[in-house]
Amino acid sequence: MDLSRTLTGIGAALLATALLANPAAGAPGDTPPSTRDFGNGPERNETAAVDEASTGAFSARTLDVPPAASTWSLRSHRGYPRQNVLPVQPENPDDRSIKLGLVPYHSIAPKLNALQKSSNRVSAEIAGKSAGGRDLYLVTVTAPESPWEAARQDHWRALIEENPGAAKRDRSLRAGYKTPVWINANIHGNEWEGTDGALRVIERLATATDPATAAFLKRSRVYVSVSLNPDGRVAGTRANGAGFDINRDFATNSQPESRMARDVVIATQPFVMLDEHGYTGTTLIEPATPPHGQNYEYDLYIKHALPNALGMEKAIQQLGHAETTRADIPFRDYAPGDWDDWPPIFTPMYAIYQGAVGHTVEIPLRVNNADYNNLPVEELQRRSRINTDVAAATIEAALTYADTNRGTLLTDQIEQFRRGWAGEPSPVIPDGFVDGFGPEDRYSTTFPRAYVIPAGTPAAARLVDHLIANDVRVRKALSGFTLNGHRYDRGDYVVDMRQPKRGLANVLLEAGRDISDLVPQMYDISGWSNGLLWGASVDSSRTAYPRVATRAAAKADPTGSVDAPRGRDLLLKLRDGNDVRAVNELLDQGIKLSRTDASTVVVPADARPEASSIARSLGVRFTAAPRGTKGEVFDRPVIAAAVSADELFVLRQMGFEVRTVSTAVLNAGFDLSGVDTLIVSSGLSYTALNAAAKAAVDAYLTRGGGVLTRGATGANFNAAAKVLPAVATAGRGDANGVVAVTGEGPIVGAGSPVHSFVYSPIWFTGTGFTVEQRYRAGATPLVAGHWQPGDTGTNGPAQAAGQAAVVSGVTAGGGNAVLFGTEPLFRAHPKGLFAPYARALFWTAS
Ligand SMILES: [Zn+2]
């Protein structure tokens, strides 16, 4: 049976629905085909994030500015083993692993402590903390090394990246470099058995007495992140403690778990990596379908990924279970778009850019979600035993592949970095390069010669620090220069694309590509762009490299300043999320702020010390207010929010105090009387409110309460509660990407970036409101991503062109309202859109 065709059919039918007409049934992911977990699940619009504040007092909890990358480092001037006594966590009888007969989080540290005690091959460390504060373990299994031997491994690893030519010629490196393999387990918390399978392999490697294992460990280092999502493991959730899918976070690094994984892959530079997931019915082993990421050196990847997958398939066949007679290998078995490797948001795809042959492995038998609650315990445990066998077998097979092919894997990693340094085009891959490679697999790009990022804004500093944290090399101009007719200043940043990880640099900084016509559907997002969406100016130079002296930047220069004579009131423009946070921190300190328009805040002269301190900590710039500037005084807004977890995260990151609500919370009698503005984007349906709650919402609107909505849930609320007379139209449910927009209105439109992000895009028609922002007219507004029209050729980007994407207006009760058809806070990625969103929030609260 042609499984892939069936999947395409079901997926397309599911997705091409009129979301607004039937919001309960229309969202993608309600009844996904058995082998696909839609990346952007229905919870984003249908389940509001709730926390302790929803039943108690208003929460004062705000998020701190994200911490720097973890301080863990591979280079420690120590040999191996590096044995640590890991702190043991209290026993938690509610850990969801227990019912499945699997190792609960609290048993991992004791197990690793015992293994370290009994074997000189095992080192266990804490390489980070989860969002919920749990330890993220990293285990290294290898034969003992003296400090000198470990330092030599460090030197060789660096040589491969820094000087691939020298590495290639170095015979001692070729003979003595230990093959690095990284196993990442349990990144989705309710896909448990990767952890158990990995622990089984660690234990075997630690205790085996045969000469082959001893010799293998002399040639290899096996790194294992045992559970990358302990919060989810304990709670039985896909997401981490902050409600994020970590396996969608690798272009953004908003979560500590993805930052840890990023740091591990950079530090260990693996030849091969596995990311152990579940549950797809049949075991699934990548390589993936097209579209393939156009910035890969794909030939170097697929020549190993396919045979490694075939080896893993053979290994699960040999287990002898009726459920493991074959695997789905999407590259071999699925239709284009059914399981692609296009965005760099997934761990293995990200790892490819770091030099690894990365694979997602999906173990077969479902034990989570409804099955976890409904299946008999014996059946769950039977499934988990088979799943653990599959996880262990795939890991063992990958270790064997890496060991057997260590010479060519080394050569090919060297080649990847060499091409980057040389600025060579990626080669054209011929049909039949591996079995099944055809024209549909051929994706490539032309790398620009350089990017230039003008310095001086918090957005530029954030982007530069993000690039550096990802091991992208950034240089600082030592004097002013001209490039392609533009004048740049001393201190501006230059990304020379002749660098070992040029693919990663480009996949983050480039606009991306409109791939709507290439495949019928995609697995997850098809558009992202740190270059277009993070609020910094990023210029690309196709062929010219700036003629200017530069030096390597280890971090971005500080950007904060107070540029005003003493005694003068200060102005702060709300152009970045940090500007918004600065406002909230000043309000928190009791400073009386006012604003002259939606984006201009006046800080009194006597608050200069506080402003100076915040300028330093947040990198924001205060300027002099013209004499006599008078604004409208405003206060900390009181916000009730029915929002998704990512939106709640960003709101708190900007320093807003938020009380979370939902249909259920309002139905339980939530008091709206003190609320300034109500955000509706997830889990709040006006029609599902009981009579008392409806009356409370009506009274809130009648007295002029503010409203801010996003997406289909918000648009439905707008219509049902009669907030603004705007009529919403939705594009296909899975349509997503970077769109070009034009700013018109005074709140969101003015001074906003000219690109925005959409997922399930919406536009508004009608009269009686102000258009803040429109989808670009004239050409398709979709710059990068996947957005097809519906079956009848409607609701595509052509129909959205020129239509209103964001609108503002005044409600019948006199309150301010803003409706977003775009996704300004999506997964905390489009950071350049945070401030426009916050301006809308302040305005609706006023
Ligand atoms: Zn998964």
For residues 71-89, average pLDDT: 87
Reply yes or no on whether the pLDDT at 58 is more than 70. Answer: no
Reply yes or no on whether the pLDDT at 339 is more than 90. Answer: yes
Strands 539-541 and 450-453: antiparallel
CA of 223 to the centre of ligand 1 (A): 20
CA of 183 to the centre of ligand 1 (A): 14
CA of 794 to the centre of ligand 1 (A): 33
CA of 796 to the centre of ligand 1 (A): 30
Reply yes or no on whether the pLDDT at 808 is more than 50. Answer: yes
CA of 184 to the centre of ligand 1 (A): 11
CA of 274 to the centre of ligand 1 (A): 12
CA of 823 to the centre of ligand 1 (A): 24
For residues 627-631, average pLDDT: 93
CA of 556 to the centre of ligand 1 (A): 34
* Residues β-bridged to residue 361: 276, 285
CA of 165 to the centre of ligand 1 (A): 38
List Cα–Cα distances, 613 to 84, 233, 332, 617, 620, in angstroms: 39, 40, 58, 6, 10
Q: Which residues of 570-605 are buried (b: 16+ CB within 10 A; e: fewer)?
A: bbbbbbbbbbbbbbbbbbeeeeebbbebbbbbbbbb
Q: What pLDDT score was predicted for residue 205? A: 98
10 Å Cβ neighbour count for 612? 15
CA distance linking residue 403 with residue 397, whole number of Å = 10
Q: What pLDDT score was predicted for residue 43? A: 77
CA of 607 to the centre of ligand 1 (A): 49
Reply yes or no on whether the pLDDT at 4 is more than 80. Answer: no
List Cα–Cα distances, 500 to 542, 572, 585, in angstroms: 18, 40, 41
For residues 649-678, average pLDDT: 97
Do 125 and 249 touch, CB atoms closer than 8 A? no
Q: What pLDDT score was predicted for residue 88? A: 97
CA 763, 766, 770, 775 dihedral sign is: positive
Q: What pLDDT score was predicted for residue 71? A: 60
6's tokens: 């069936």
Q: In percent, how much of the chain has pLDDT > 70?
A: 92
* Residues β-bridged to residue 804: 764, 774
For residues 291-304, average pLDDT: 98
Which of 837, 824, 841 minimizes the C-alpha distance to 676? 841
CA of 369 to the centre of ligand 1 (A): 13
Reply yes or no on whether the pLDDT at 111 is more than 50. Answer: yes
Q: What pLDDT score was predicted for residue 459? A: 98
Secondary structure in 3-state letters for 619-657? CCEEEECCCCCCCEEECCCCEEEECCHHHHHHHHHCCCC
532's tokens: 């277009």
Reply yes or no on whether the pLDDT at 30 is more than 60. Answer: no
CA distance linking residue 576 with residue 836, whole number of Å = 8
Q: For residue 740, what are the contacts with CB-CB under 8 A and spacing of at least 6?
A: 754, 755, 775, 776, 779, 781, 783
Q: What pLDDT score was predicted for residue 279? A: 96
Q: Where are the alpha helices (DSSP H) in 141-210?
A: 147-162, 164-169, 171-176, 193-207
Query: Exposed/middle/buried for 527, CB within 10 Å: 0-12, 13-18, 19+?
Result: buried
Query: Exposed/middle/buried for 765, CB within 10 Å: 0-12, 13-18, 19+?
Result: exposed
**Average pLDDT along the chain:** 93
The three-state secondary structure class of 477 is: strand
Reply yes or no on whether the pLDDT at 258 is more than 90. Answer: yes
CA of 552 to the centre of ligand 1 (A): 38
Reply yes or no on whether the pLDDT at 427 is more than 70. Answer: yes
For residues 487-502, average pLDDT: 98
For residues 715-734, average pLDDT: 97
CA of 238 to the centre of ligand 1 (A): 7
748's tokens: 């969101």
* Residues β-bridged to residue 278: 363
Q: pLDDT digits over 270-290, tens only?
A: 999 999 999 999 999 999 999
Q: What pLDDT score was predicted for residue 76? A: 77
Mean pLDDT is lowest, of 54-63, 369-378, 735-744, for: 54-63
Q: What pLDDT score was predicted for residue 619? A: 97
CA of 664 to the centre of ligand 1 (A): 29
Reply yes or no on whether the pLDDT at 176 is more than 80. Answer: yes
CA of 318 to the centre of ligand 1 (A): 24
CA distance linking residue 314 with residue 579, whole number of Å = 56
CA of 32 to the centre of ligand 1 (A): 14
Q: What pLDDT score was predicted for residue 845? A: 97
Q: pLDDT digits over 178-209, tens only?
A: 999 999 999 999 999 999 999 999 999 999 99
CA of 362 to the centre of ligand 1 (A): 7
Q: In percent, how much of the chain has pLDDT > 90?
A: 91
CA of 188 to the centre of ligand 1 (A): 5
Q: What pLDDT score was predicted for residue 814? A: 98
Reply yes or no on whether the pLDDT at 65 is more than 70. Answer: no
CA of 3 to the centre of ligand 1 (A): 20
CA of 817 to the centre of ligand 1 (A): 38
Categorize the per-residue pLDDT at 32 as very low, low, confident or very high, splitting at 50, 70 and 90: very low
CA of 645 to the centre of ligand 1 (A): 18
CA of 187 to the centre of ligand 1 (A): 7
Reply yes or no on whether the pLDDT at 316 is more than 60. Answer: yes
Q: pLDDT digits over 461-473, tens only?
A: 999 999 999 999 9
Reply yes or no on whether the pLDDT at 706 is more than 70. Answer: yes
CA of 13 to the centre of ligand 1 (A): 23
Q: pLDDT digits over 531-576, tens only?
A: 999 999 999 999 999 999 999 999 999 999 999 999 999 999 999 9
For residues 110-120, average pLDDT: 98
DSSP 8-class letter at 560 = -
Q: What pLDDT score was predicted for residue 108? A: 98
Reply yes or no on whether the pLDDT at 62 is more than 80. Answer: no
CA of 50 to the centre of ligand 1 (A): 23
CA distance linking residue 772 with residue 751, whole number of Å = 11
CA of 416 to the centre of ligand 1 (A): 28
Q: pLDDT digits over 357-405, tens only?
A: 999 999 999 999 999 999 999 999 999 999 999 999 999 999 999 999 9
CA 836, 839, 845, 846 dihedral sign is: negative
CA of 275 to the centre of ligand 1 (A): 9
Q: What pLDDT score was predicted for residue 7? A: 35
Q: For residue 407, what are the contacts with CB-CB under 8 A and spacing of at least 6?
A: 174
Q: pLDDT digits over 205-247, tens only?
A: 999 999 999 999 999 999 999 999 999 999 999 999 999 999 9
Secondary structure in 3-state letters for 344-409? CCCHHHHHHHCCCEEEEEEECCCCCHHHHHHCCHHHHHHHHHHHHHHHHHHHHHHHHHHHHCHHHH
Categorize the per-residue pLDDT at 791 as very low, low, confident or very high, splitting at 50, 70 and 90: confident
CA of 191 to the centre of ligand 1 (A): 6
List Cα–Cα distances, 21 to 14, 42, 679, 713, 731, in angstroms: 14, 16, 21, 11, 12
